[in-house]
A and B are shown apart, each in its own frame.
Chain A
Amino acid sequence: MSSTGLLITASIVLSFFFIFLFLLYYKYLSVKTEVDVAANNENYYDYSSYLIDKKKTSSAISLNSFIMNDSKSIGIRFLITSIVFFFIAGTFGVIMRVSLFYPHPTLFAGKEVLYDILTTEHAILMIYMWAIGSALGLAYYLLPRFLKLKSDKFGNFSSWSYWIWLLGGIFILLSRTSTRWYYYPPLALELTPYGAGSMNWLAVIGIEMIMIGVTISAIVLVRNIIYERSDSIPLSKMPLFAWSVLFTLIMFLASAPFLMTAMIMLFYDFVNPVFFTGSSSSPLFFAELFWTWGHPIVYIAILPQFGLIYEILPKFTGNKVYSYTSGVIALGLLLPLSELVWGHHLMESGFGIEWGLFFSTASLFVVIPSAITVFNYIGTMWTATKIRITIPMLFVINGIMDFVIGGITGVITAVLPLNEQTHGTYWVTGHFHFVFMGITVGIAFASIYMLWPSLTGGRVYNRRLAGWHFALTAVGSMIMSMGWTVGGFLGMPRYVSGYFARYQIYQDVAIIGGVIIGIGQLFFLANLLLSMSAAPQTETSNALEDAYKNLSMAGGE
């Protein structure tokens, strides 16, 4: 099909999509009006509080959360959607991994571009939909209790932000883009199946919508933390998770404009290429703008989870966090540092030694706050009299260990001479999958397991299935990332659907790991279905939300 044909098909599909959305919105409005009238008759402030009072389901997974605008419902929306996208993008990941079994393309022989599409979608969806989505979901869900919010206004702004974010994610899925998640221009502008994919423009719109959505959410949350916090909680006593969310969102708001501007200019370049491919410009300008955002996003994906570790650890060690002050300072230090190290993604692009050394040294400085954070976790566990090993605790311990390995591989690649060897190889892939699998995925699941009774309306999860979920995720990610790290140091290139036969052993090891991770996530699904089909057995409270109480040895799971 020609690219014009594709465009026409796309427009028709999009029109139907919008008609469907309109119908959905119409249905939503009519239901909302009914509830509004009922709420008005009984003198309720708004329909959400009416529904919460009547149905008592605001903190559990249900379709109600998609029409109610209180913080918890918004949080559940974000959580449900991010998990759905986690499974979509995870499936993409497993499929493309399996396709690499032989050095030459076999599964995708003749249509290798499918591999590129899957890789790109896997990266974009995992970062923008899963990492940001789950962090926002947990923030919306946990902060009302953590901060004892005075009022929960601006719910419809959050609701709008959610829908815009979701639509952006769907656009990215539909766009079948095959450029990379960093959209380097001359390629991103090549709207053919051989370049960036015929509908890459849709992905650019999708990214822009995601950024707008998350920006609205970020402003609402920052406002909640600073102005709506209960007067009984001074900043100096705020839970560490609230601090981490605050730092994350400030980091987001400070760096997102770089990407939003760059994406608008990129979109303009589709029509009239002046910004990045003109005679007086360089494609590297875009790369520099992108990584000014692209490095903070990496911290945005792990900082909220750092805060969550601080909240989860004391529940199972029974003591306080080792040092609250150093925890806050370490999280805060990442804020300025994250904006200074973007150049380490471009060290081989012709900066020369001087700039290379600057970014290399700045990247080494990032180790200081990260190490203080890890020492803080170890100190908390060390000063405990007894540690209760439960599923969330296992995820936390595994996350800390994975983060240490991921951090060390990151430092190695930040050193200028070694960067020449490891940049653009699977070493980097291994490095961030250690961190993302251990921290972003592991801690999100740890929190979901801790919130389980509340999220499912008083049901408990099957420990045995959860144990398998943990074991397969931990072992699988270790095997996969180790295969990549070792192969990458020997020069195995990233982003290729075929490779030199000398790297087959490392790819095959990584495939085994990837498939193990994929199977592990099925245990989570089975657990969810099994516990939802059983009758409620327990109270809907959970330990994680009691931020000011250490449950010590009893409960807390």
Chain B
Amino acid sequence: MSDDNHKKKMKAEALWIAGFLVVLAFTAGLNFYITSQKDFSIATKMTGSNSIPNGSIPIVVTGYQWAWSYTYYNSTGKQTFVDNLNITVNQSYTLVVTSIAGAQQFAVIHDLYIPQMGIQIYAVPGQNNTITFTPDKTGTFVIECVEYCGYEHYLMRGYLTVVA
């Protein structure tokens, strides 16, 4: 192998590294750009009263072994659902998620996940996490628990129904 050849390949290597650094920088930039958007929301520990944006309906979500329970207030008063949740399209909702002990069980860590909405949030005992989202399509979607929480973890799932 000649030195000339080696130099050429050195150039190619440098070009590869530069190229992928550009891609990486672009990814990082995109990361910062998207997370700075107003409608972007990620699981955040609730510290004050300002955690719930104006015009957003709070839904208190409690995970216990092994089901989800959802409580919210609307025109007909306080409503509680277990496993399945019904909400309205184009309305902003804020989930306030925590974990409590079931009948004779422990309060353990759960993780609420709605894949089609891109919503994921831990339910941690003794801590309220919030996340805001606005469903923009109607239909039936799935709700899952994706943090292992014991025997019937796999049954800790339900359906999210978005109506017009």
- Measuring CB to CB, which residues of chain A are less than 8 angstroms from any residue of chain B? 105, 112-113, 116, 179-180, 184, 186-187, 189-190, 193-196, 277, 279, 282-284, 287, 319, 322, 346-353, 356-357, 360-361, 364, 367-368, 371-372, 375, 379, 382-383, 385, 411, 415-417, 420-421, 423-425, 490-491, 493-500, 502
Specify which of B9, B16, B28, B105 is in contact with A190 (CB 8 Å cutoff): B105
**Cβ-closest 8 pairs across A and B:** A491-B115, A424-B146, A496-B154, A350-B45, A194-B151, A349-B122, A186-B108, A350-B129
Residues of chain A within 8 A (CB-CB) of B119 are 420
- Are A357 and B31 also in contact (CB < 8 A) when A282-B127, A350-B127, A417-B40 are? yes
Asked whether, in the complex, the Cβ of A424 is within 8 Å of the Cβ of B120, the reply is yes
Contact with A along B12-24 (1 / 0, CB 8 A): 0100110011001
Task: Give the distance to chain B from A326, nearest Cβ to Cβ, in Å.
Answer: 9
In the bound complex, do residue A113 and residue B109 qualify as a contact, i.e. CB atoms below 8 Å apart? Answer: no
- Chain A's closest residue to B112 (CB) is A348
B132-164 Cβ-contact flags toward A at 8 Å (1 or 0): 000000000010111111111111010000000
Between A and B, 14 residue pairs with Cβ closer than 8 Å are A179-B148, A186-B109, A187-B149, A348-B43, A351-B43, A357-B31, A364-B24, A416-B31, A423-B111, A423-B146, A425-B146, A491-B144, A493-B145, A497-B154
Q: Do most interface residues of chain A lie in helix, strand or loop, or is the interface mixed? A: loop
A186 to B65, CA, bound (A): 12
Q: How far is the CB of A413 from chain B (nearest CB, A)?
A: 12
Collect the chain B residues with CB atoms within 8 Å of residue A415's CB: 27, 30-31
Size class of the B contact interface (CB-based, 8 Å): 35 or more
Q: Is the CB of B151 within 8 A of A348?
A: no
A112 CB → nearest B CB, Å: 7
Are A190 and B106 in touch, CB under 8 angstroms?
A: yes
Chain A residues within 8 Å of B116, by CB? 491
Find chain B residues with CB under 8 A from A496 CB.
Answer: 153-154
- Pair A356/B42 contact, Cβ less than 8 Å: yes
Q: Which residue of A lies closest to B156 (CB)?
A: A496
Contacts of A360 in B (CB 8 A): 31
> In the docked arrangement, what's the CA distance between A148 and B136, Å?
67
Given contacts A283-B124, A417-B40, contact A187 B150 (CB under 8 A): yes
Tell me the total A-B contact number using a CB cutoff of 8 A.
175
| B124 contact from A282, A347, A375, A421, Cβ within 8 A | A282
Nearest A residue to B149, CB-CB: A187
Known: A348-B121, A361-B28, A375-B17. A420 touches B42 (CB 8 A): yes
User: Taking A187-B109, A375-B13, A375-B16 as contacts, is the C-beta distance between A353 and B151 under 8 angstroms?
Assistant: no
Let me know if B107 is at the binding interface, CB within 8 A: yes
Q: Which residues of B contact A180 (CB under 8 A)?
A: 148
Residues of B within 8 A of A500 (CB): 142, 144, 157
Contact residues in A for B43 (Cβ distance below 8 Å): 347-352
Once the chains are docked, how many angstroms separate the CA of A347 from the CA of B124?
Answer: 13
Known: A190-B108, A283-B125, A375-B16. A382 touches B31 (CB 8 A): no
A499 / chain B contacts, CB cutoff of 8 Å? 154
Check A490 against B45 for contact (C-beta < 8 Å). Answer: no
The reply on B72 being an interface residue by CB < 8 A is no
A449 vs chain B, min Cβ distance (A): 28
Partner of A357, one of B6, B16, B32, B151: B32
Residues of B close to A346: CB separation below 8 A:
122
B164 to chain A, nearest CB (A): 23
Query: What residues of chain B lie closer than 8 Å to A195, measured between beta carbons?
Result: 105-106, 108, 150-151
Nearest CB on A from B42, distance (A): 6
A415 CA to B20 CA, complexed, in Å: 16
With both beta carbons as reference points, the residue of chain B lying nearest to A190 in the complex is identified as B106
- Does B24 contact A352, Cβ atoms closer than 8 Å? no
Q: In the complex, A361 Cα to B119 Cα: how many Å?
A: 21
Measured in the bound complex, the distance between the Cα atoms of B146 and A180 in whole Å is: 12
Q: Scan residues 1-57 of chain B and give those whose CB is less than 8 A from a CB of chain A.
A: 1, 5-6, 9, 13, 16-17, 20-21, 24, 27-28, 30-32, 34-35, 40, 42-45
Q: Are B34 and A417 in contact (CB under 8 A)?
A: yes
The answer to whether A352 and B42 have CB atoms under 8 Å apart is yes
User: CB-CB < 8 A to B125: which residues of A?
Assistant: 186, 277, 282-283
Besides the known contacts A364-B24, A415-B27, A416-B31, 20 further A-B residue pairs in the complex with CB atoms under 8 A apart: A186-B108, A187-B148, A194-B105, A195-B105, A195-B106, A279-B126, A282-B125, A283-B108, A283-B125, A350-B129, A357-B35, A375-B16, A383-B6, A415-B30, A416-B34, A420-B42, A421-B118, A425-B146, A491-B142, A497-B154
